[in-house]
């Protein structure tokens, strides 16, 4: 601020001098009637102005230039920063979902830490949850329309994977609707997909086989044993309940939170994702059954 004040003072002085000089040059002269003195007022003004300008030393000039250069540099830096911020569009900014990474590399995300859409609600009535609450789909059931998986009430999470490898996907969920005698296999599932994982699959421990959801983003062909096929035109996997790259993830316990996620009815398989490089990846959860509450999900390194 002191440098700027000094520059302003000197600039004002120079401006005043120029004004005095101009006043002298612009004065009307009547050569027929005026008496030209040895030191006329106009000449005095011009001489004073020139003396003031001469008194601005060479050091002052150098200092002014240095100060101006510093100010220009500082202003340019601020302008460049502002331009970069303006040019960084909302689409360029990736909002990372809050996560906790345990010592063993397990990544855990609270299900409520996203923008809830459609008929997803955050609730707290079923005690024993982690974080601020849990989410539950309170809209119509979506399990018969497999083709709409990903279009019902899609929730998106952005996670950071620091260590490449294969992880088991598992959520902590609970049935919060119905009576114990009838709901162990109802209100117990939602759709899940990891669209940009390098591999996203279900694994059959008995036959040591991988299975892919129909419409897998990587165009992998589902491996469907003959005994799991339904006699229908679409040749959909029996109990697999998968479409558009989504697996149905379910559990079968009423009355408590359970950290378990299987797919394929009557032939339960765990769900896995492989990440070949460290980076930011996407987890998508969509509505399927009403009354299926999700507290959190984890990716456990294998």
Asked if residue 33 is part of any domain, the answer here is no
What dihedral do alpha carbons 246, 251, 257, 260 form, nearest 10°? -70
Cα angle value 236/252/149 (rounded, 5°)? 40
Residues 124 and 139 in one domain: yes
Asked if residue 32 is part of any domain, the answer here is no
What residue numbers bound the domain in which 108 lies?
95-301
- Average pLDDT in the chain: 75
Q: What is the pLDDT of residues 53-109, one digit of tens each?
A: 555 555 555 665 566 456 545 555 556 445 544 554 444 567 999 999 999 999 999
Residues 75 and 106 in one domain: no
pLDDT of the residue at 186: 85
Residues 165 and 225 in one domain: yes
Contact between 111 and 249 (Cβ < 8 Å): no
Q: What is the pLDDT of residues 105-145, one digit of tens each?
A: 999 999 999 999 999 999 999 999 999 999 999 998 887 66
Residues 67 and 188 in one domain: no
Residue 213 has pLDDT above 60, yes or no: yes
Residues 184 and 68 in one domain: no
pLDDT of the residue at 178: 75
- Furthest-apart CA pair in the chain: how many Å? 124
User: In this structure, what token pair is assigned to residue 207?
Assistant: 């036959």
Q: How many domains does the chain have?
A: 2
Residues 80 and 113 in one domain: no
Report the CATH number at residue 160.
Answer: 2.60.120.260
Instruction: State the residue for tokens 């114990």.
Output: 180
Question: Where is the domain boundary, 67, 91, 115?
Answer: 91
Q: What is the pLDDT of residues 147-171, one digit of tens each?
A: 678 888 999 999 999 999 999 999 9
Contacts with 76 (C-beta within 8 Å, 6 or more apart), sequence order: none
CA distances from 111 to 50, 122, 132, 138, 301 (A): 77, 9, 10, 15, 19
Beta strands in 162-254 (DSSP E): 165-175, 189-193, 199-204, 209-211, 247-250
23 vs 299, more confident: 299
């Amino acid at each position: 601020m002191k440098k700027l004040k000094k520059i302003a003072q000197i600039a004002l002085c120079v401006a005043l001098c120029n004004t005095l000089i101009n006043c002298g040059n612009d004065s009307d002269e009547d050569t027929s009637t005026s008496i030209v003195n040895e030191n006329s007022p106009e000449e005095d003004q011009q001489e004073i102005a020139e003396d003031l300008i001469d008194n601005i030393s060479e050091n002052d000039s150098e200092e002014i230039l240095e100060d101006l250069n510093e100010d220009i540099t500082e202003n340019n830096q601020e302008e460049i920063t502002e331009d970069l911020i303006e040019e960084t569009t909302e689409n360029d900014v990736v909002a990372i979902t809050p996560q906790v990474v345990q010592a063993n590399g397990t990544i855990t995300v609270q299900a409520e830490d996203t923008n809830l859409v459609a008929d997803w609600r955050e609730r707290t009535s079923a005690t024993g949850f982690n974080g601020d609450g849990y989410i539950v789909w309170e809209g119509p059931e979506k399990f018969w329309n497999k083709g709409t998986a990903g279009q019902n009430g899609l929730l998106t999470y952005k996670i950071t994977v620091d260590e490449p490898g294969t992880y088991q996907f598992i959520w902590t969920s609970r049935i919060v609707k119905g009576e114990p005698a009838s709901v162990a296999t109802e209100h117990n599932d939602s759709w899940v997909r990891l669209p940009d994982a390098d591999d996203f699959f279900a694994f059959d421990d008995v036959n040591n086989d991988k299975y892919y959801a129909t419409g897998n983003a990587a165009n992998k062909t589902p491996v469907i044993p003959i005994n799991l096929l339904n006699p229908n035109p679409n040749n959909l996997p029996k109990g697999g309940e998968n479409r558009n790259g989504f697996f149905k993830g379910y559990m079968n316990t009423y009355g408590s939170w359970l950290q378990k996620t299987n797919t394929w009815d009557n032939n339960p398989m765990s769900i896995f994702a492989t990440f070949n490089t460290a980076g930011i990846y996407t987890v998508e959860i969509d509505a399927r059954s009403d009354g299926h509450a999700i507290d959190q999900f984890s990716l456990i390194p294998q």
